[in-house]
A and B are shown apart, each in its own frame.
Chain A
Amino acid sequence: MEDLRTKRKGKILAVKDLPTLPPVLDEITKMIEDEHCTPKQIAEVIAKDQVLSAKVLKMVNSPVYGFPRRITTIQHAIVLLGFNVIRGIIISTSVFDVMSQAMVGLWEHSLGCATISKIIAEELGLKDPEEFAVAGLLHDIGKVVIAIQLPEEKEEIQKLVAKEDITYLEAEKKVLGFGHDRVNSWLADHWNLPLPTKVALTYHHNPESAEFYEKFAKIVHVADFITKVLEIGNSGDELLNTLSKKDFVDIGLSFKKLAKIMDRVLEDIIEVLTFIPK
């Protein structure tokens, strides 16, 4: 088992080509060909796609640029990479051959979680809501990489979830010996992502285990839950985890604030979802 695990880990980290969904790529390709497009506008679109965001952050935090693990937001990444490199990343990105329903669902789920993480951070008066948006956007990136690198195992996981009464995470652990949260942690190190982002990605299912930057894990944890409750997209889960009152209290959310957050979420999410490829 240990051997197989190491082998799978190796395969996951060997991921070279992270494809994204065709409509996203079309939209952004159009944008970079338009001379009047500003970096801010490009950042806004990239920030809606988990794969492109992961690629951009991986690039800017790579040792090539000389400041690994420092850059957490897409806006800053674009300022530092510049238009040429962004263009390079986009033209070298491919699309999923078959745009599977599962991938579209996960894409919506991630975008929903990003939006909600950001709203929570804003309502809590935190300094850099964008950082939380990125953490929410990338929180399930491990699932995408598993789907690309271990497609057969992924099928097995999905079947198991449908057959037995278990969560996606539990099914992953049964089939692979590890969950997407572990994969996230490996990827975060492999891609030199900043620590707050790594913590959110690694501990979004068990935020109490985070030793530092636990706010990131906790907020994404709550946002992930709200995304599932509102059925924005599909994370692959049929079951809903329970969320304790403690989870809310821990990040300083009163019921009054939560009500306000839900209002904003319902308002914003409509706008966000109009971007969804259909």
Chain B
Amino acid sequence: MQNNTQEFFLISPDETIYLIFDKFLKQKGSLVQFNEGKPAIDRILQTPPAMIILDIKIEDISYLEMIKLIKGENVYLQIPLILCLDKEIPKEIENMSVFDLDIDDFILRPINPKEAKIRLELTACKASKFLDANPLTKLPGNTTIIQKIQKLLDAKRDFALGYVDLDFFKSYNDKYGFSRGDEVLMMTARIIVNTVKEECGAEGFVGHVGGDDYVFIVPVNKAEDVCKKIIKNFDAIIPYFYDPTDKERGYIISKNRQGKIEKFPLMAISIGVVFNINGRLKHYGEASQIAVNLKKIAKKSQKSTYIIDRRRNE
């Protein structure tokens, strides 16, 4: 989504802020001002800008809701967001933990132009340094995944850990090429993210190990529904990622590992889930190993399958 004519969105009814930012953003791209939130949402969703400066003074919609919308979606969360506040910090923010307020930086009114410039540059810089995220899907990568799991294990929290993998992704890639393969990976990410969010809200977590491997963490009692729903949605949508003839006949012809021509079914999704109950598991490696092994068993079937290890104790 990088283009040479970068846009910066200023969502604020305040004219003076516009003048300050426009001065030093001129060389970098263009500053677009929205006096209200709603028209900005449409633009952000369609053509994400290089940065968003959001004023708490917008009236037509709550700024907290806007932050939640942008930062809650894997395709938008990498847009740096700077909140513009008054010296008098609003109550709803004061009582919030920094982790819940998902912004990249803030600026206080009256704005000091020199300070604002530095903050903007720093924020843009920090955003591009967030290396752990998967470059394609922007989902958290391995470091974050491991930390997250280990933290839950250490706290002896009950949770379900799922490993997700696509069957016949390689043959699809071989036949259709990498960029079509990436489309499938993006689609799969959206299905997992939305399913987990819908079933578990903020209690869920989704990570992207790399390639066609994903991870999710959900409450134990939600695991089975999440698996079923991911499979249902994936199976319904995946045929549309094939050309009409392949979609129609339900298989593709491609080379196997030995280079021989072979028929391959349409892609399916395999999920292995391990429960951690009553502190049964101690270490990240242990948890992931079990889930990965279950996923391998699930993979033996050509159809989308999930396997759950419900063991409570050894």
Contact = CB atoms under 8 A, between A and B. Distances in A.
Interface of A: 16-17, 39, 58-59, 62-67, 70-72, 75-76, 79-85, 87-89, 91-94, 194
B287 interface: no
A85 B72 CA distance: 9
A65 B75 CA distance: 7
Contacts of A75: 236
A82 B190 contact: yes
B69 to A, nearest CB: 5
Q: Which of B39, B41, B233, B241 has the most CB of A within 10 A?
A: B41
Given A17-B39, A64-B1, 13 more contacts: A16-B42, A16-B43, A58-B46, A64-B45, A64-B46, A66-B75, A66-B182, A70-B241, A71-B240, A84-B73, A85-B45, A85-B73, A92-B39
Contacts of B75: 64-66
B194 interface: yes
Given A64-B1, A80-B237, A70 B183 contact: yes
Q: Which of B68, B136, B194, B241 has the most CB of A within 10 A?
A: B194
Contact of B233 (A58, A79, A94): A79
B interface, size bucket: 20 to 34
Main SS at interface, chain B:
helix
Given A80-B190, A82-B197, A83-B198, A66 B39 contact: no
8 contacts: A64-B1, A67-B241, A71-B237, A79-B190, A80-B194, A81-B190, A81-B194, A83-B194
A70 B240 contact: yes
A183 to B, nearest CB: 19
Contacts of B182: 66
B186 A76 contact: no
B156 interface: no
A64 B194 CA distance: 16
B186 A65 contact: yes
B290 interface: no
A82 B61 contact: no
B152 interface: no
Contacts of B103: none
Interface in B173-214: 182-184, 186-187, 190-191, 193-194, 197-198
A74 to B, nearest CB: 13
Contact of A66 (B38, B136, B198): B136
A62 B46 contact: yes
B313 interface: no
B139 to A, nearest CB: 12
Q: Which of A62, A72, A81, A92 has the most CB of B within 10 A?
A: A92
B69 A88 contact: yes
Contact of A64 (B48, B72, B197, B240): B48
Given A59-B45, A85-B45, A91-B38, A76 B240 contact: yes
B41 A92 contact: yes
Interface string B38-61: 111111011110000000000001
Nearest to B182: A66
B198 A72 contact: no
A88 B45 contact: yes
A72 B40 CA distance: 26
A67 B186 contact: yes
Contacts of B186: 65-67
A63 B1 contact: yes
Contact of A79 (B42, B43, B48, B194): B194
Contact of A92 (B38, B73, B198): B38
A63 B1 CA distance: 8
Interface string B15-49: 00000000000000000000000111111011110
A80 B187 contact: yes
B38 A84 contact: no
Contacts of B48: 64
A93 B39 CA distance: 8
B183 A80 contact: no
Nearest to A195: B244
B194 A82 contact: yes
B42 A67 contact: no
Contacts of B187: 66-67, 70, 80
Contacts of B233: 79
Contacts of B39: 17, 92
A82 B41 contact: no
Contacts of B136: 66
A17 B38 CA distance: 11
A128 B73 CA distance: 29
B198 A82 contact: yes
A16 B69 CA distance: 20
A63 B39 CA distance: 20
Nearest to A79: B233
